[in-house]
């Protein structure tokens, strides 16, 4: 009789809450291998906040196989984001989703700052003997703001990110420009949609695409003029989403 291995666990909109997340985190952290070889954990829309996030964060270093963690549409605030950031470098998570077009978490600038500092994780990751680094970070509708954008700009160049979303992040042209100028060499996609961006950011995004042939950027749902949209569409085609 063959053994069934748990590789994907999706508990979306199940009303798990903080208490349920705490029990689940402890269960997964102490599960016997190889019966549990979890690669994807989706806990989106489960009404849990900082308490549950802290418990789940503590379990991450013991979930060696976990690569994809989806947490959108919960109540995770700055404290929960800080707890998560403190454990990321001790995990093998490659993709972290805290927000999508369906909704995010109220982690705010302080939470984004903590996560940004965690992007520069090469030394702690080596100390923890981890092979992978975070490659995709989705912060859509997570209240990034000016201070969050500054923190990302400060630490992005030291990251291994291939995809970053700060869509609906309450960003201005200055915020978006700082992020664009700090992108790591590894980046392949940047989502800046749904912010307060003008033709200024669009021009810098266009220049960025000239320098990075394999990259694409989304500027959808911003405040771009018809003229710049037409020009950029002619120059960059589908690499620039408008």
Q: What is the pLDDT of residues 163-174, one digit of tens each?
A: 999 999 999 999
Helices (H), the chain: 17-29, 50-59, 78-88, 108-119, 122-127, 145-155, 173-181, 199-211, 226-236
> Does a structural domain hold residue 13?
yes
Is there a domain that residue 138 lies in? yes
What is the distance between the alpha carbons of residues 78 and 158, in angstroms, rounded to a whole number?
Answer: 22
Structural domain that includes position 144: 6-237
Domain for residue 231, yes or no?
yes
Which phi and psi (to 5°) does residue 194 adopt?
A: 70, 30
- Residue 21: predicted pLDDT: 96
Could you tell me if residue 1 is inside a domain? Answer: no
230, part of any domain: yes
CA 67 to chain centre: 13
Residue 242 lies in a domain: no
185 part of a folded domain: yes
Instruction: Give residue-wise pLDDT tens across range 75-109.
Output: 999 999 999 999 999 999 999 999 999 999 999 99
Domains identified in the chain, total number: 1
pLDDT, tens digit (0-9, with 9 covering 90-100), for 100-117:
999 999 999 999 999 999
On whether residue 214 sits in a domain, the answer given is yes
Instruction: Tell me the C-alpha to C-alpha distance, in Å, between residue 84 and each of 33, 60, 102, 167, 214.
Output: 24, 9, 21, 21, 31
C-alpha 61/C-alpha 226 separation (Å) is 49
List the CATH number of the domain containing 219: 3.80.10.10
């Amino acid at each position: 009789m063959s053994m069934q291995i748990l590789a994907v666990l999706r508990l979306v909109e199940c009303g798990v809450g903080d208490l349920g997340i705490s029990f689940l985190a402890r269960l997964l952290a102490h599960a016997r291998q190889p019966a549990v070889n979890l690669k994807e954990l989706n806990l989106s829309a489960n009404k849990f906040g900082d308490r549950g996030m802290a418990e789940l964060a503590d379990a991450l270093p013991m979930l060696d196989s976990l690569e994809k963690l989806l947490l959108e549409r919960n109540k995770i605030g700055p404290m929960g984001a800080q707890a998560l950031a403190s454990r990321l470098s001790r995990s093998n998570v490659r993709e972290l989703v805290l927000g999508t077009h369906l909704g995010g978490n109220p982690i705010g600038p302080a939470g984004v700052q903590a996560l940004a500092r965690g992007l520069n994780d090469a030394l702690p990751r080596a100390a923890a003997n981890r092979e992978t680094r975070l490659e995709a970070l989705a912060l859509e509708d997570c209240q990034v703001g000016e201070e969050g954008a500054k923190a990302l700009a400060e630490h992005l160049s030291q990251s291994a990110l291939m995809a970053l979303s700060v869509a609906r992040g309450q960003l201005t042209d200055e915020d978006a420009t700082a992020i664009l100028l700090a992108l790591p060499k590894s980046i392949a996609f940047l989502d800046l949609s749904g912010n307060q961006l003008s033709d200024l950011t669009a021009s810098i995004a266009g220049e960025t695409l000239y320098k990075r042939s394999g990259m694409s950027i989304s500027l959808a749902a911003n405040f771009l003029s018809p003229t710049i949209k037409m020009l950029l569409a002619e120059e960059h085609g589908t690499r620039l989403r408008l």
